Amino acid sequence: MEEDQSADGQGSGRYAPSPSGDLHLGNLRTALLAWLFARSSGRRFLMRIEDLDRARDAGAGARQLEDLVRLGIDWDGDPVLQSDRGADHKAAIARLAEAGLVYECSCTRRDILAAPSAPHAPPGAYPGTCRELSETERAAARERIAPREPALRLRAPEGVTQLAFDDLLLGPTVGDIDDFVLRRGDGTVAYNLAVVVDDAAMGVDQIVRGDDLAPSTPRQILLQRLLGVPSPPEVEYAHVPLVLGPTGARLAKRDGAVTLSELRDRGVSDAEVLSTLASSLGLAGAGERVTVERLLERFDPAALPREPWVWGGGSAD
């Protein structure tokens, strides 16, 4: 593994958006919280653009960084492009393969849904169809799906079907583990593998992100342990509540003006947006003008709301 970039032992938090579009209020709120968590704990704050999935890359990375600056969020060092880190991702998979923990999988999503599940397995869990195939059977499977390549899956250690961790906001949390994908059939490294390798290389020991990602955390902790990189309690997690749209569904573009540029077009300033985000977190009164430095003085993780914030659309009052 690559050496920890935080050589001073200070530790780091990070924000890691995908450049699939402009950041909406939910993304901005999570970024603000990640910055507050890191700065309030004396950590460095790092930025990583997670651009591995080329099909979803809309080239929005630069605009995303500009929007964060508009709110007053800064970071240490240059932003890291995940697509530049392929050598480390490949090396991590090779290390797992050398330990007998990787196998080829030719299953489609339809195959997985149609296959009988193991007893007590969670819905959608991989049933292990390709786990114990012979070399002859693997060769036949490769031929069947050509020219598509097989995916690579982690051979989860026997008996490891769940893993528990303590979350700063969710508290004790338990999640399921199956033989999850490490590299997709199109050659793209899977999120769970890339995020573990990259966080370790960047010296990240505090991960703040949306609580929709909490279910994937046990898989990542297992990978941390198998790769011999820091894991809880050396690494801490805080999964923050999402922002919902007026219908109660996760905030999306269909909910109207939800990005800084859209709100600006409607006459809403960046300062007003920051004020609204701060108010939603209990860090400012309604309409109070604040700065991120002022929010840092008030920040108390224990006092953060545990429920989603519903954005009603319209102005940012």
Binding-site annotation, residues: 14-18, 50, 105, 107, 126, 130, 191, 209, 253
**Where is the binding site for Zn(2+), in residues?**
105, 107, 126, 130
In contact, 33 and 80? CB cutoff 8 Å: no
d(C-alpha 234, C-alpha 298), whole Å = 26
d(C-alpha 121, C-alpha 177), whole Å = 9
**Where is the binding site for ATP, in residues?**
253
For 181, 188, 252, 279, the CA distances from 56, given in Å and listed in that order, are 19, 12, 15, 32
Number of H helices and E strands in the chain, helices first, is: 10, 12
Q: Helix, strand, or coil here: 78?
A: coil
Residue 106's identity, in one-letter code, is S
CA angle, residues 124, 221, 60, in degrees to nearest 5? 75
d(C-alpha 115, C-alpha 107), whole Å = 10
**Where is the binding site for L-glutamate, in residues?**
14-18, 50, 191, 209
**Rounded (10°) angle between helices 25-40 and 270-280:** 70
Residue 12: beta bridge partners? 44, 204
